[in-house]
């Protein structure tokens, strides 16, 4: 089974000097800026973290938030070579 991490994305527009709006850009939001980042990690995040941690021979702390789990997933994916 393959788990896919959901990336939170926002669309930003900027005002041009002539007063018009620029085209939206697709920016990936930093987990620290997520509105729900302080909520507990999701079941999917915890499951994937445990899989990655097992492969990386690391322990994952209990009680991570969504944002913390996302950052840890990125770290473990880098270490294991998965997901990139």
Tokens describing residue 23: 């085209």
Residue given tokens 């697709």 in the structure block: 26
CA-based diameter of the chain, in Å? Answer: 56
Report pLDDT digits (tens) over 27-75.
Answer: 677 877 878 888 999 999 999 999 999 999 999 999 999 999 999 999 9
Tokens describing residue 12: 């930003």
Burial group, residue 77, by CB count within 10 angstroms (0-12, 13-18, 19+): middle
Query: What pTM did the predictor assign?
Result: 0.63
Outline where DSSP puts E strands in the chain.
9-12, 25-28
């Amino acid at each position: 089974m393959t788990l896919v991490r959901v990336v939170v994305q926002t669309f930003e527009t900027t005002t041009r000097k002539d007063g018009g709006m620029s085209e939206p850009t697709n920016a990936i939001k930093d987990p620290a800026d997520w509105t729900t980042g302080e909520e507990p990690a999701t079941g999917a995040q915890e499951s994937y973290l445990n899989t990655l941690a097992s492969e990386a021979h690391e322990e994952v702390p209990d009680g991570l938030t969504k944002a913390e789990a996302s950052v840890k997933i990125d770290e473990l994916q880098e270490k294991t070579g998965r997901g990139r």
